[in-house]
A = this chain, B = another copy of it.
Amino acid sequence: MNISQPPAPPLPPDLIAKFAAIVGERQALTSAADVTPYVTEERNLFHGRSPLVLRPGSTTEVSAICKLASEHRIALVPQGGNTGLVGGQTPHNGEVVVSLKRLDKIREIDTASNTMICEAGVVLQVAQQKAAEVDRLFPLSLGAEGSCTIGGNLSTNAGGTAALAYGVAREMALGLEVVLADGRVLNALSKLKKDNTGYDLRNLFIGAEGTLGIITAATLRLFPKPRAVETAFVGLKSPAQALKLLSIAQNEAAGTLTSFELLSQLAVDFSVRHGIDIRDPLAGKHPWYVLMELSSPRDDARAALEAILAQGLEEAIVDNAAIAANLSQRAAFWKLRDEMSAAQKPEGGSIKHDISVPVVAVPDFIEQADAAVVRLIPGARPVPFGHLGDGNIHYNVSQPIGGDTADFMSRWHEVNAVVFDIVLRMGGSISAEHGIGVLKRDELPEVKDKVAIELMRGIKAMLDPLGIMNPGKVL
C-alpha cells in the first residue's frame, strides 16, 4: 500500500551511536536481517523501512530515547507486538522504531484491589495467564492475543470478543505511565477506581496510536474469574432475528452475557472450508449464525442460556442451536469464529472494513452495504461477521469467484467509499476497534466532525510540537 509522506532524512552515524548508547549495542538493531521483522507486518499489506530499531529495557531508557530524538528532531515509531491492522506500527518513511517488547515485567498484582500493573511489552496472553494464576480474569481477548502487547492494546484501544460485558481496552486501564515526546514521564499509574483530580489525561493516550507519547506501563483492572462459562452456536434467519435474540439474552443474562457474535453463512462456510479441523456445529445450513457466551460467578449460566434459547425457539427467532457440552466443544465453536479472518485469504482478495453503527442499525447496515457493494462490483461476496452486541461488524468483502485479485484489490478505496457512506448516514464509525493508522488517515477528515479534527490537531501540536511521535499516523 502506497503511503504518501515525505521521507525522513538519513540518520547520521554518530546519532545512531548515541541512541545505541542508551539501550546498549545489542539492543540497537541496524542490519537488514535484524530490522526486517519490525518493518513488515504479517499480512504483507504494509512494508516499511528503518535505519534503527531500539529495544529499550526500562522507562528511563525510553525517556532518554525521546529526549535525544526531540533534540535532533528524529521521528520515532513505537511498536508492541507488530500485529496492528492499519499500518500504525510500521515505519513507512525510515523512522526509528522503538520496540517496547523488552518492557515485559508485571510490576505488581493486587488481588484485594483487583489491579495488575503491567509494562507495555507484556503479551496479552501472558497478562491473561498471570491473572488466572491468582484466580482473577483479565477479560481483554482478541485473535492476536498470543503476540500483541498491553501497550499496543491500549494505544489502539483494542476491542475484541469480550467487550460486550467488560468494555474495550480503554475501560480496563485505571492508570498509565507515559513517556512524552520530549522525554518527560507522566506518572499516572493510579490504582484508583475513582479519581477526580483534574482532567482525564489517561484517555488521551489510550487510542492515540502512539502519536502523543509512548505508553510504558499501565494499571489494569482485574475481575472475578467466572465459575461457569456456557457457549451456544445458534442458527437463525437474519440479522434482525439476531437482534431480537440479543435483546432476550440481555434481559435474561445482563452483565453475564459476555459474547454475542453475529456470523454470516459465508463466513462460517469459509472457516469450515479452509480451517483445519473445523466443522459446523449445526446439522443444516442457516443464513446467519450467532455465537453466544455467558460467564457467571455462580453455576447458573447453563440454566440462563437454556432459558434464552427456549424463548428464542418459542418466538421462532432461533431455528436451531447447539450448546457446547464440554471445554473442547467450546474451543471448537470459538476456533470456527477465530479462523474467520484467515479463512478469507484462500478465497482471493478481501477488502476489509471494521465499522460500527448503533446496535439497532446493524441489520439495515448489512442489507444496504450488501446491495451497494454488489452493485459496484457484481459478483463480489460480502462476508460480514462481528460483535453484534457492540454494533461492530467486520464487513469484509471477498472478490468475485474467478475474478482478478489485483483488479479487485485496486478498488479498495472505492468499496470503502460506498460502505463508509452508509456507515456515516447511520451515525456510525469507520474504525470501531482497529484504529486509523495510515490505512484510514486520509478518510478521517471527511468522516469526522470538523471541530473534533481541529481539537485533535491542537492536542497533537501541544503534546508533540516537533511532530516526531509516529508521524503520518491518525492525522
Contacts and interface: CB of A to CB of B under 8 A. Distances in A.
A368 interface: no
28 contacts: A113-B361, A159-B194, A163-B193, A170-B200, A184-B451, A186-B449, A186-B451, A188-B449, A192-B356, A192-B358, A192-B391, A192-B427, A192-B429, A193-B390, A194-B392, A194-B433, A195-B429, A196-B433, A196-B434, A196-B435, A198-B448, A199-B455, A200-B207, A204-B204, A252-B298, A256-B297, A298-B304, A458-B462
A185 B391 contact: no
Interface in A423-475: 427-436, 440, 444, 447-449, 451-456, 458-460, 462-463, 474-475
A212 B193 contact: no
A276 interface: no
Contacts of A157: 196, 200
Copies in the complex: 2
Interface string A285-326: 000000000001110100010000000000000000000000
Contact of A436 (B198, B203, B456): B198
- Range class of the A interface residue count: 35 or more
A165 interface: yes
Contacts of A454: 184
Nearest to A110: B360
A36 to B, nearest CB: 28
A337 interface: no
A456 B199 contact: yes
A364 B71 CA distance: 45
Contacts of A202: 203
Contacts of A170: 200
Interface string A228-252: 0000000000000001000100111
A201 interface: yes
Given A157-B200, A196-B436, A198-B436, 12 more contacts: A112-B359, A113-B358, A159-B196, A193-B356, A194-B432, A197-B429, A197-B431, A199-B474, A201-B456, A298-B300, A300-B300, A459-B459
Contact of A198 (B114, B201, B391, B456): B456
Interface string A176-214: 000010001111101111111111111110111000100
A48 interface: no
A398 interface: no
A226 interface: yes
A156 B196 contact: yes
Nearest 4 A-B pairs (CB), nearest first?
A112-B360, A255-B255, A203-B203, A254-B297
A262 interface: no
B297 A252 contact: yes
Contact of A463 (B358, B391, B455, B456): B455
A166 to B, nearest CB: 9
A115 interface: yes
A163 B194 contact: yes
Contact of A432 (B196, B435, B447): B196
Contacts of A251: 224, 297
A224 B254 contact: yes
Contacts of A159: 194, 196
A168 interface: yes
Contacts of A431: 195-197
A447 B199 CA distance: 14
B455 A192 contact: no
A357 B192 contact: yes
A171 interface: yes
B207 A199 contact: yes
A127 interface: no
A432 to B, nearest CB: 4
A435 B207 CA distance: 25
